[in-house]
Structures are given as structure tokens and as C-alpha cells.
Structure 1
Amino acid sequence: MILPPGAHTTGPTDQGHHGSDPHAPGAPGRRVTVIGAGIVGVTTALALQIAGHAVTLLDRGAVAGGTSGGNAGAFAFSDIEPLASPGILRKAPGWLMDPLGPLSLRPGHAVRMLPWLYHFWRSGQPGRQAGAIAAQARLMDLSRAALDRLLPAVEGAALVRREGQLQVYEGAAEFRASLPAWELKRAHGIAFDLLGGPGALAEIQPGLAPRFTHAGFVPGWLNVTDPLLWTRHLAQSFVAAGGMIARGEVRGLTQRDHGVEIATPDGPRHADQVVVAAGAWSHRLARTLGDRIPLETERGYNTTFPDARIAEGIDLRTHVTFVRHGFVVSRVGEGLRIGGAVELGGLRLPPDYRRADVLVGKARTFFPGFDPTGGTRWMGFRPSMPDSLPAIGRSPRAPGVIYAFGHGHLGLTQSAATAELVAALAAGRQPALDLAPYAPLRFGGAPRGDGT
């Protein structure tokens, strides 16, 4: 069972070491601590435990207590185009000046973001973007296959919805402008249908305003029924397999001769290997090892409503993406969630819930008859690298530490693949992908001030 709030468990998984070389290809039974109980950390801990390691999952909060519990719940395997792209770079200056637009930059965080923005600009150049797309597509292919392997192992099929995704456009010109992105998907084997006319859209999702005249439908798109319940279900599977969950703050990491020392307010813990999967806070732990990684936070906002009716007698049938406006409407449990957009604002500034209210206001216009009462607002931190690829790999300064973070809004989507890749690294096996495109220090290390 998952520990209740405030519980702290110490067991054989978080004390001592085996006395063997902790960096050599390992046999099962090594002690591994995974820092971060979000979806990537939980899935990775489960994979390591099933592989035969003795694993502790360590977090200062509850399982899925952060961004992993409040996202849109999508396995977005078809989203292979990075945020940093020539099209986004052309639009970004105007968007960034609009505090309530699809992509905004909080003034109080602008100076701290300069290193990340520089790498973001470079990543959006055509040559670099092509490499990022290819790497993202390979990771997505592995992610889908890894999820197919994970679902029967955790009896999770009932927690997944197979209702597809509808991307909607206002007018023929906007639709034509989207066609290169659809051709990119086609080139990478992603199946979809392009639709024209309100009637065609209504067959998939009734209730949309007639201003939406075209759409693309991805039938293979998946959603979990509830991202919070999904992550907790995996955590329960982890504990059932013998894993341990502990509560505690991590203040730093130190590579020792026989493993990794984990600094906490209650004294040091020790593990043969440590996996850093702490989401938007991960770069702070990397910094204690001397690794400077340009991680930023895409602050996302949403509002969740208690039932899935978008208008009287009309239920939400699929995951709907309003492309130009940068937000989605998805089913979560028996309700619906309206959220998205990107606010670059770091970890310190207070939320600006006007952003959530703007999205709800748009949804009310886009779904005539929608009654936006009884909603609960939320803000979460998406850990984002400049090229939209995660950081997966060992620390060059601490071979007992493996990084697994920076997935942006694709943490749920890529969690199962990340878990398999980390499990291979922990065992000294060759991962299923060449990890060079995801190398944590591929930007050469970031100067002081990144992403806090």
C-alpha cells in the first residue's frame, strides 16, 4: 500500500551497500533509490524493482502530488514536433508579450531564462530541429511499445481510454497552414484522418462552434482515465513487487567509492545507484554534482469540472485540441479538464490563475452551451529542456547517478520508455535507443541561474 501523508519508511533499500563495484554492469539485487514520485519516477522504480533490484522511491511529497496528478492524461505518441521550431520562433515574440497568451514569459523570471532561451533559439534552427524530431519520433515509438508491455504487467487496461484526439482549426487557411505538420506525422508512420466541414467534425465530437471548419483526427491517441489514479496504481504495483516508498527531502548528492550518498535533513542515505526523476526540481540536484543542465518550467494551468458534459445532452467523446489557442479539453474520471498553454515562470513566482480562467472562457465560446461552474483550478510545473527532448543518461561526474527528467508535457507519454531505458543503464545493458540525443549535458552545461 502507498504510505499516507507524513509517513517515513526506512528499510533495507536505503541503507548501506553491497560492497561490489557499483558502476560495473550489475546483477539483480543492487540497491537503487529513485528520487521523485511523479509518473516518470514511479514507472522507473517499478521497472527497476521488477528487474530484481531493491528499490526505494523517495519524494518529499505524496505519490503524484505534483504535475503528474493534474495533467491532461494523454499518451501523446503523435506529438513529435518540438516546441522549438521555426514556426514557433516566428510567433514567439508576439506571444511572449501577451501575459495571457498561449506562450508567455513572466517578467520577474525573464533574466534567469536567458541561457535557456538562447538554447531554445538554437534548437529551433532547421538543421537542429530535424534531428530533434527524429529523436523524438524514435522515443515515441519505444514509448508506445513499452506501454503495450506495461499494461498487462500491471493489469492497467481498464485505466486507459482509446477515444482518439481531434485537432480543430478555424477556417481553410489555418487548416492549410497545419498540413506540413500532418505530413511530418505521416512520414513517421502516424495514422490520422483529415476532416472538412462542421458535419464531419460533429460525427466525432458534437457541440463544437461552427467557426471550427476543419480538423485532424488521430484514432490511435490514448488517454488514462485519470492521471492521478494511474500513477498511484503503478505505485501500488511497485509496492506489491517489494518496492519501498519513503518520504523525505533530498538536498544533494555525492558520489562515493561504493555508491551514492543522498543528503537529507534526517541524515545521509546510501544507495548503489540513484535515479534523479524529480521533474522541474531535478536540475537543482544535478547542480550539487557539478552538472549544470538548462532545465526550465513550462507552467501549465487547468480547470477540472465534475462531469463530462460540454453542453446539455452532449458529452465529451474525445480529446480535443484547439491548436491556435494552445489548450485542450479532455475527460478525467467522470469529469472534464480544460488546460494547457505555456507560461515560462520558473518555480518561485506565484500562480496567475487568470490563465486558467482565459482557457475556460474560450472553451465556453468554442462549445456553446457549456456551463463553467463548479470547476477547480490548478497549476503545475512541466520540466522542459530547450529542444523538447528529455535528459536520460548517467552523470559524467557521478557514474552512480542516472538522470531521467525534462520531458516537458510528455512525461506521462514517455514514462514507460524512460523506465526501460533507465533499467537497462542500471543493469549495465545496452539501451534500446542510442541515448546521445538525450544526453543530459548535450548543451555543454548551463551557466548559473538556469531554471530556478
Structure 2
Amino acid sequence: MAISDPNPSITILGAGILGIAIAAELAEAGHAVSVFDRTGICEETSSGNAAALAFPDYLPLAHKGMLRQLPRWLRDPLGPLSIPPAYFLQLSPWLIRFVRAGHPRLFEAGVAAQAAMMRLAADEWAGLSERAGMAGMIRHDGSIDLYEGEREFQASLPGWMVREKAGVPFEHVTGARLAALQPGLSPRFTHGTFMPTWKTVSDPKEFGKALWTYAESKGARFARKTVTGIERSGEGAMLRFADGTTHHSARLVIAAGAWSHHWARLFGDRIPLETERGYNTTLPAGAWDLKRQLTFVGHGFVVTPLAHGIRIGGAVELGGLKRPPNYGRSKAMLRKAEQFLPGLKTEEGREWMGYRPSLPDSLPVIGRSSAPNIFYAFGHGHLGLTQAAATGRLMRELVSGEKPSLDLAPFSPKRF
């Protein structure tokens, strides 16, 4: 339904990469855009991600291989996936939905929706990065999934069949070909799969700030403010801030990452969002001669070349927003990386933990709330950076009353 005002004032709650991409798209379309965040532009989870534009990553987390490995991983408190025992009961409803998402019918529908989203994401980042003068910050080196032995490689093949059906290009590699793609690996990694269309950015925080510079040049405005309340106000919304001030907007987009579902409840929408607490260590430049992003499949983490060093991170701790960080997890990955990348210099590393907003079916929420003129864009899990430009495009279309570029039913806030 078209809106009466062709260029309404729009407020975005959240200045992570998703909020910034939405701001850039809306500002390009001539809307008056205000962005609010308690810290700054890409200062929280968007600053420390693995820097991937993971366009070939179609598989939901609840795919068959993941569910098979779940019991083994959960036995290791510092392994690829952990759940603090005290949090398990609170997490149970989410886990039940997560397991159900692995049902073949739901799995196939999820892959189809994710494939469509990834095609749009690749196109939109290509265009937006050129318009914003950021194309040079994107690396086109591809990535390699690594396997320890024939058995682990064979277990991966069903997932590659799904990707092949979706049109993802890849190459299974061994021996000299694997060594040419990434010299110096431990010989324990006998097989790999190279994905040429996987991309990374030079530094996710700098990338986000560059995108904001472009959005700001188009008229978007940012203020560092802590939102303490949101309420309906006429046809729009009123935000209340910790400093006692307020802000009214004709349209509101909630893109507040792992905190978004708390705000959604104010508008009658109960969305089962959970927090994947991700850890990493960033090493300085010269730590190892890394050619492209590597994924250690059986261990659930990646290493990524950045402009100023190497980032070693991943793993998942489903532990909510309130527990203190467990940096033993980042140390465990660093110790493994030292074995997998002989000669890796592990000194002067900087540890980090961030909150990934995750939904049990691995699809984000993109759509209208139960209240008029309130929109949602959150829950992208590991794929926030990857899908940010596509989400910006879709949000621009929703707010402007245009036909969306994708069928948004799989991403509906009402699907739960």
C-alpha cells in the first residue's frame, strides 16, 4: 500500500552494518533519515565480525550435518558450539524450533529463501559499493573449507550437492592444488573446497564507517543516544532517550541486532530471537601469510585476512545478553590455529566478543510489525554483513510502498 507522504521522516534504531545500509538506501531515495545508537557507527557486533560477504552460504544452521555434530560439540565447553548449563532451560523453546527447522520440508524452503536473498545481496553490494566508492575495500579471493581426512570430506558432500543445485560454483581440491591456493597448511588438512564467489572486506568496521560517510553525504543523520522507550505517536512513533529528550518519526525501522526482539514486543510481536555470542582474536599484520579466508569445518571457526592483520574467530555460545564473556573460547581457537597454520605468530592478539542475533530457521526478520509504520530488519545471525545491502534495498521498497524485490513471506515477523 502506498504511503501518502512520498518522502516521510524515517528513524532507524541501530547503527550496525544493517542500520547503515538501510540508511544509505533510504537517503538515496530522498527520505529524511535519522539513525540512533547507544555507541556509534558499527562500534559493536558489526565491528568484529569475520569480514565475509558469504554469498554461497545458503545452508541453514540446522542442516543435517550440524544436527549430527551437535551432541559431540556440546560435550566440549570450549568447542564450536556451547550452551552454559544454567541457560539451557531458558533456551529450550528456541532449541526445539531449531531442531524442527532441520525437517526436510522446512530445510528445502529455507534454502530456497536464502538462495534468493544471497543473489539479491551479491547484486546489491556490487551496486552500492560502487556508488559509495567502497568497491576497493572488497577482496575477491574466494575462500576454502578445509577437511581433516576423507571421512570428514565425504560427510560434507550432501551440503555441496544442495549448493550445486542452487548454482553455487565450487571446486573440491587436494594435493598441489590445495597447496597452491593456501601454502603452509598443516598436512592434517587433506581436502578442501574452494568457493571463488566468496568475498571478504578489508576491515568490517572501516567498511561500515565508509558506508556511513556515503549515507551522510546523501543527507542521513546520526546521534549517539540510548533509547529507553518507544511508544506509538499518531501515525508514527515517539522515541524516549536516557537524557530526557524525545524524537518523533513518521516511520521507524528497528535494526537493533540482538536487542531487537525486546522492542518488537512493544508492538505485539513475539519473535524467538536468541543471541549467538561469537568470539575472535585479531592478530597484527605479518602473523602468517594468509591468502584468503579459511574455514576449519570440523572445528567451527575461520581465519580471515584483514587490511591490518588476521582475524581468528567464529564458534557459537548460546548464552544470552547478560552473561560475562568467556574468553577461554577465543584462546581455544587461537591454540588450534597455531597447530593448523604452522609458524603462526600469536603475540599481541586482541580478543573480542559480539552478539549475533539468531533465529532458529537461520532466516532474518524483514517486514512490517503489527503496528502501522513500524518495520523490522534483524536476526541475520552470521550473515548481517553479507545481507545488509539486500536488506537495505528491501526496506527502502517496503517504506516507499514499492513491490519488494523478493517474496518476503519467508522472512515475515508473523511466521513464528
The TM-score with structure 1 as length reference comes to: 0.90
Pairwise mapping of residues 138-217 of structure 1 onto structure 2 (< 5 A)? 138-197=116-175, 199-217=176-194
Q: Which residue is 2:296 aligned to?
A: 322
Seen in structure 2, the aligned counterparts of structure 1 residues 26 and 87 have a Cα distance that, compared at 3 Å, is: farther
Shift in Å, 1:139: 0.4
Equivalent position amino acid for 1:131 in 2: A
In the alignment, which residue of structure 1 is the partner of 2:253? 275
Partner of 2:69 in structure 1? 91
Give the whole-Å Cα distance in 2 for the aligned partners of 1:293 and 1:252: 19
CA distance in structure 2 between the partners assigned to 1:250 and 1:117 by the alignment: 30
Q: Which of 197, 204, 207 is the matching residue for 1:227?
A: 204
What is the match of residue 19 of structure 1? none
Q: Which amino acid aligns with 2:413?
A: P
Counting only pairs closer than 5 Å after superposition, residues 386-405 of structure 1 correspond to structure 2 as 386-396=360-370, 398-405=371-378
Q: With structure 2 as the length reference, what TM-score do the two structures score? A: 0.97
Equivalent residue runs for 1:64-79 within 5 Å: 64-79=42-57
2:411 match? 438
Deviations 1:56-89 (A, max 9, x none): 0110111111110001100000110010123322
Aligned residue number for residue 101 of structure 1: 79
| Aligned equivalent of 2:111 | 133
Q: Is the 8 A contact 1:27 1:427 kept in 2?
A: no
Query: How far 1:92 moved relative to its partner?
Result: 1.5
Do the aligned residues in 2 keep the contact of 1:308 with 1:316 (CA within 8 Å)?
A: no
Structure number with higher helix proportion: 2
CA contact (8 A) 1:163 1:318 kept: yes
C-alpha distance in 1, partners of 2:75/2:390? Answer: 36
SS of equivalent to 1:337: strand
Q: What corresponds to 1:119 in structure 2?
A: 97
- Alpha-carbon deviation of 1:432? 0.4
Report the Cα offset of residue 263 of structure 1: 2.6
Cα distance change on mapping 1:143 and 1:308 into 2, 3 Å: farther
Specify the alignment match of 1:381 in structure 2: 355
Provide the residue aligned with 2:322 in structure 1. 348
Question: How much does 1:388 deviate?
Answer: 0.4
**Any idea what SS the aligned residue of 1:388 has?**
coil
Q: CA separation in 2, counterparts of 1:308 and 1:53? A: 44
Q: Please give the alpha-carbon distance, in whole angstroms, between the structure 2 residues aligned to 1:147 and 1:211.
A: 36
CA contact (8 A) 2:2 2:402 kept: no
The alpha-carbon deviation at position 290 of structure 1 amounts to: 2.1
Q: Is the 8 A contact 1:253 1:289 kept in 2?
A: no
Secondary structure (helix, strand or coil) at the match of 1:167 reads strand
Conserved in 1, the CA contact under 8 Å of 2:65 and 2:155? no
Tell me the SS of whatever aligns to 2:227.
coil
Query: Is 1:333 matched with 2:311?
Result: no
Q: Sequence identity, in percent?
A: 48
Partner of 1:324: helix, strand, or coil? helix
Q: CA deviation at 1:147?
A: 0.7
Once superposed, which parts of structure 1, at least 4 consecutive aligned residues long, lie more than 6 Å away? none
* RMSD, aligned CA: 1.2
Name the amino acid aligned to 2:217: A
Task: Confirm whether residue 247 of structure 1 aligns to residue 224 of structure 2.
Answer: yes
- Quote the offset at 1:178 in angstroms: 1.0
Distance 1:291 1:214, change over 3 A: same
Distance 1:406 1:248 in 2: 22
Q: Shift in Å at residue 27 of structure 1?
A: 4.6
Closer, same or farther: CA 437–308 of 1 in aligned 2, 3 Å:
farther
Structure 2 unaligned regions, length at least 5: none
Q: Number of aligned pairs?
A: 415
Paired residue secondary structure (1:173): helix
